[in-house]
Amino acid sequence: MEQHNLQTGIRDHVWMHMANHKHLFEGDRTPVITHGEGHHIFDDTGRKLIDGLAGLFVVQVGHGREELAQAAYDQTKKLGFFPLWSYTHEPAIQLSERLAGYAPGDLNRVFLTSGGGDSVESALKLAKNYFRLTGKPGKHKVISRATAYHGTPHGALSVTSLPDLRNQFAPLVPGAHKVPNTNFYRADDRFAGDEKAFGQWAADRIAEAIEFEGADSVAAVFLEPVQNSGGCFPPPPGYFERVREICDEHDVLLVSDETICAFGRIGSMFACNDFDYVPDIITCAKGITSGYAPLGAMIASDRLFEPFGKGGETFYHGYTFGGHPVACHVAMANLDIFESEELNTRVATNAPTFRKTLEKLLDLPIVGDVRGEGYFYGIELVKDQATKETFTAEECERVLKGFVSSALYERGLYCRADDRGEPVIQLSPPLTCGPEDFEEMEQIIRSVLTDAWELI
């Protein structure tokens, strides 16, 4: 398509996700991504960029992997589609066995979905249904953390904590309550640099919320291993150990939402293994196929499946395309790449270098904090490093959205500049990236932030 037709097609027909379209009617253009190779993407002007966000925390093995395209083709010829409603197929069986093998503890039952939001929705329904079937129908409330994002289906959106995403669609599913997150950079001075004490305090707020609502009314706690929204909040030492104790004490399910953190993003196939805790449910998607086909999963413990196995109950929930045979076969090929190229080991080896490279940005006056784990980092921007003063809404609009986002793109780095919480730049590159790529990303960010400081 010619440039004019592309832009006209976007303006007149494409409804982009989570996007403001006003600029299209004011004559501005929107870049069109044409193809990808490895950890680079290319647009319709010929610009080459590092994919510093792996699409959307997705493309773990990089773009243009012919073996994944071949897997999709082979499965399409054999069985292009069949649902998991009462019957199943070989790719779903093989993938379920493999995921159960990666998961910790007795998380052996895999419910395949279409994506991350569907996986969270499934976990929410399972938590409520399980307690209803086991004689505790009052347990229906859920707890999640401030500024957390858990998806857009109506139930998952209730678990989400971002007002701008929620308010358009109110009223939401009732019974969702929020507790403080693990943003240690913004912690009270009383913790005086003691991350473990802060983690214990944050975990205890979950206990406090359960006790306030009444343990007989709370079904589940939804937590990401490293919280995405707000800018990559890792768990402080001892945090998940304490959360697990709290959930066990009050008979509350712990859901590890690993839509972003699974499949090597932090290091292991499942990030709960990196932080040494065993949840009752894992929700995942994104990197399961490296984005080459849409797929997600809810992985539950044997205990939670018991009423639906020997108990004979039916979980009346499902998706037409959940566990699509082509997507499952692609996922198996994707996981083969993980193992043959030792990508989990690669992340564990290179993660300290990634951190060290990004921490060089702390010499810029606009950078307040660099935080994250594995190949998943946030760089928080501030007006004053000493006081941690953040930007006003007008400054965020003018500097972060009006300059930083476009400047990063123009200088060759696709990533996310976000102000859902404090203003941050988020990085989540393909797992195939290495030290030279980290240096290039740091240099681009440095040049953009140096210029952005002059605009304040």
pLDDT tens for 144-203 read: 999 999 999 999 999 999 988 899 999 999 999 999 999 999 999 899 889 999 999 999
Within 10 A of 241 (CB to CB), how many other CB atoms are there?
16
- Which pLDDT tens digit goes with each residue over 282-297? 999 999 999 999 999 9
Closest to 256 measured CA to CA, from 232, 214, 212, 225: 225
From residue 295, alpha-carbon distances to 92, 277, 374 in Å are 11, 25, 23
* CATH code for the structural domain at 31-64+343-454: 3.90.1150.10
- Which pLDDT tens digit goes with each residue over 342-368? 999 999 999 999 999 999 999 999 999
Cis amide prior to 171 (ω within 30 degrees): yes
Closest to 231 measured CA to CA, from 441, 416, 454: 416
Band the pLDDT of 206: cuts 50, 70, 90: very high
Report the chain's mean pLDDT, rounded to a whole number: 96
- Which pLDDT tens digit goes with each residue over 222-237? 999 999 998 999 999 9
8 and 2 in contact (C-beta within 8 Å)?
Answer: no
- Which pLDDT tens digit goes with each residue over 390-407? 999 898 888 888 899 999
Q: Is 193 left (phi over 0), alpha (psi -120 to 50) or beta?
A: left
Cα separation, 370 vs 185, whole angstroms: 9
Q: Per-residue pLDDT averaged across 310-321, rounded?
A: 96
Band the pLDDT of 319: cuts 50, 70, 90: very high
From residue 420, alpha-carbon distances to 56, 232, 305 in Å are 16, 12, 36
Q: In what order do the strands lie in the sheet with 416-418?
A: 367-373, 376-381, 424-427, 416-418
Domain ranges of the chain: 31-64+343-454, 68-341
- Which pLDDT tens digit goes with each residue over 361-390? 999 999 999 999 999 999 999 999 999 999
* CATH code for the structural domain at 68-341: 3.40.640.10
Cα separation, 255 vs 428, whole angstroms: 23
Is the pLDDT at 413 greater than 70, yes or no? Answer: yes
Q: In what order do the strands lie in the sheet with 176-179?
A: 107-113, 296-301, 281-284, 253-257, 218-223, 141-145, 176-179
31-64+343-454 and 68-341 agree in CATH topology: no
